[in-house]
Amino acid sequence: MSDINMKCVFCGENTLQKTIKFTLQTLQKCLNVLEYRRSKPVVRKSRTTYDNLELSIESSLNEVYYAQCYKLFTAIKIPRDF
């Protein structure tokens, strides 16, 4: 399921790296992480990095990402009470 020469949702780059299409599971995880990142009270560089990122279940299933960008984006601990 990988495509070449498509823009990564997270970094916006278009390189020769292999890209991966979203599944419902990966998309749902990213939506949860994005919601948490936007609601965090601490303002850090990592919070504003993804301010322009727009994800939705309908449109994002056709989007792609690089594995490394996905790892960096989802590498955040979300509290259970969130």
**DSSP single-letter state for residue 54:** -
How much is the pLDDT for 57? 84
Residue type, 38: R
* Torsion of the alpha carbons at 8, 13, 18 and 22, rounded to the nearest 10: 0
Cβ neighbour number for residue 9 with a 10 Å cutoff: 22
pTM, rounded to two decimals: 0.79
Mark the ranges of the chain whose per-residue pLDDT is less than 70: 1-5, 41-48
SS3 49: helix
Q: Where are the alpha helices (DSSP H) in the chain?
A: 24-39, 45-49, 57-60, 67-74
CA dist 1 and 19 (Å) reads 8
CA dist 74 and 45 (Å) reads 15
How much is the pLDDT for 42? 64
